[in-house]
Structure 1
């Protein structure tokens, strides 16, 4: 094979992947500016795909060995940000030189395709929180925690993916964790079609962003796009966290839910209904209805909230929960210097927010929360929250100071 053929094969790759359409300065004495391959050869050299010879020549008319060509292909395979067409060309070249690439210790195209089908995302974060009882009627609580989370997603085909969440935690205050064990929190297969989606496995149930911050082992189906109807059923294990109020001490329950929602560019709204069949409680069925709404006024401001009410177990205050939050801008983890702030009022009755997701206002508390976040550098985000709360059932008052730094990858 001659290098003139190599240039022809790789020109499309290099031009497509280059960050500029201008060729680099002439790196080879024997490739004049008016040569037909000048732009391709110069850019190949600038990108580190070819290196030429020690005497500063390219020797474009000389024959090269298959190993020399394989080395060029290997460098091309290592390039990132190439187009789909360029990836196809790389795969063809790597298939042709598969034996040489294997001998060079480079993964061949088929393995690269498989690797591309698995995406790894996650975060490492540190959380510090202080919940201070202002009246000394209860014990203060402190949180110092490191969390390492992996969230892989593997492509099965064009419609189906397998997803998971793995967590490992360390109590920073005592420098102790779970002895290096990683907890598999979620694992599910998800199929997405034009007007239909299905989840099978262990996943976050409907409304897991507010009052059901748990996992359900079962199935969920959704119909529609902007307007959706959602049905779900499965077994919910409380994993040692028996919730609050009427669910305190429960081990597991059958969880069924149904909901409808609507989302467009600015507005969202939805209602849902949950029922849990309990074992230990004298009340064998826990039922709750939830309504949500939100509106984005422009790129910087938005308002959102929810209202939830459970079947009356204690009193009406404990059975109700609601939140109203005003958001201004918001930290974008990809863009350093972006920031956001919010102000919220929350009332979190213990029977209506069994597994609350909120950090500054706790279950069985009502009060104001103010917070903000900031992106220090790409994929590094800091968050601060302050809550000034009062007990719903009781006279206690509390301040909560919350801080978190997240490193995304």
Structure 2
């Protein structure tokens, strides 16, 4: 027993010296490089962003550089030390990584359930009948309470307040296949009905889809009713839930997204998107969209093609600029553009997309605070259907508009986020200004 322990210690020290001296010959390193398209890079990076990997290891980790299996295990050991602080989804990531790097973790002296399962036993045990692996299921949710007022559309009494309840169900069947869904109900306080009298507080699935990793060489395949945001992080052109299929694949620092979906009844939409991130602080995007909503019975939209491009740049820690532009070949060649600058002075969260599609704060950091100023100029028919994230409010919604939005968010306590927002939009048809005031509390639980 002492000999084996001494051998493990010597092995760990040797590997540490080899890593520090920058051993170049792969054949001399018993822990080979991990391919940059390996799924572990994304999982480790997510744990760094969630601050479950902290200190020196977080500073040393670089998803754009090739790491050895031993180095990846070092980062993972850091996360394992904070396992009790992780939520269910983060624990699932850590468990998958611990299973993958069980041998390396054992060499480091880190013993986990996964290392016990992976490493050979001292003596051969009699064969036992094994049960099928149980599906890993997690459930979490969120509650929203909001109030708003628009100049052109006075909202009083219970009509000024809305509620929304969401439950997220995630099931991992194995390392490749998973199911994700979202059950949602929303409505007005008091009457429980929408402003046109239709009942709106019935529970329904707003998302329900299967996700497969490594699908015939493609990194990810999705089918069902899924979340869709054209431009990955810059959903000026299109954002919402849609029925159909989507593909995602990573080529080095470039991600390819393809989709063929129906965001709403009698609407056909397909497109492709490329996102390139040469550094951690900068990325840009270009996409092509073909949409036909002319057969819609409710608010029909023109059939047209669109080009969408955008970028996100972390100017300095916590300060981010986002730009996006969309051009349509519809009558009059309408276009749309938006620009935003945001500042997060607590966690320094980088804003990868537009508020309010993307939150300004990290919901895992208590008292995180941030502010964003956005200006946009949207021509009528410049965005596919009526699905653009910046469709406006009040009368300006259908006529096209331009103006600014000021937003502020604060994690007032664990799991509770406060959002405040002000919009001043000019209707492009009438020239009238529409002011909107908005406040909300989001409550997250798992």
CA pair 89-221 structure 1, distance change in 2 beyond 3 A:
closer
Superposed, which structure 2 residues align to 1:198-217 within 5 Å?
Answer: 198-207=221-230, 209-217=235-243
State which structure, 1 or 2, has the greater radius of gyration over its C-alpha atoms. 1
* Deviation (angstroms), 1:348: 2.5
Deviations 1:373-404 (A, max 9, x none): 00111111001011111112222111110111
Superposed, which structure 2 residues align to 1:220-235 within 5 Å?
Answer: 220-225=246-251, 226-235=253-262
Superposed, which structure 2 residues align to 1:314-329 within 5 Å?
Answer: 315-316=332-333, 319-329=334-344
2:376 is the alignment partner of 1:346:
yes
The 2-side partners of 1:86 and 1:321 are apart by: 53
The 1-side partners of 2:413 and 2:223 are apart by: 37
The 1-side partners of 2:444 and 2:236 are apart by: 23
Residue of structure 1 equivalent to 2:437: 401
Superposed, which structure 2 residues align to 1:230-379 within 5 Å?
Answer: 230-237=257-264, 251-263=265-277, 264-280=279-295, 285-313=303-331, 315-316=332-333, 319-329=334-344, 330-353=360-383, 354-358=386-390, 363=397, 364-379=400-415
CA pair 393-302 structure 1, distance change in 2 beyond 3 A:
same
Point out where structure 1 has 5 or more consecutive residues left out of the alignment. Answer: 1-78, 92-108, 134-138, 238-250
Q: TM-score, normalised by structure 2?
A: 0.58
Residue of structure 1 equivalent to 2:206: 185
Aligned length: 291
Name whichever of 327-336 and 265-274 sits farther off.
327-336
Q: TM-score, normalised by structure 1?
A: 0.63
Superposed, which structure 2 residues align to 1:142-181 within 5 Å?
Answer: 143-172=160-189, 174-176=191-193, 178=199, 181=202
Q: What is the DSSP-based 3-state SS (H/G/I as helix, E as strand, rest coil) of the residue aligned with 1:252?
A: coil
- Out of 127, 133, 146, which is 2:146 matched to? 127
Deviations 1:5-39 (A, max 9, x none): xxxxxxxxxxxxxxxxxxxxxxxxxxxxxxxxxxx
Residues 360 and 402 of structure 1 are in contact (CA less than 8 Å); yes or no, is this contact kept in structure 2?
Answer: no
Q: What is the DSSP-based 3-state SS (H/G/I as helix, E as strand, rest coil) of the residue aligned with 1:205?
A: strand
Residues 216 and 255 of structure 1 are in contact (CA less than 8 Å); yes or no, is this contact kept in structure 2?
Answer: no
* Deviation (angstroms), 1:120: 1.6
Residues 229 and 240 of structure 2 are in contact (CA less than 8 Å); yes or no, is this contact kept in structure 1?
Answer: no
Q: What is the DSSP-based 3-state SS (H/G/I as helix, E as strand, rest coil) of the residue aligned with 2:284?
A: strand
CA pair 89-310 structure 1, distance change in 2 beyond 3 A:
closer
CA pair 110-352 structure 1, distance change in 2 beyond 3 A:
farther
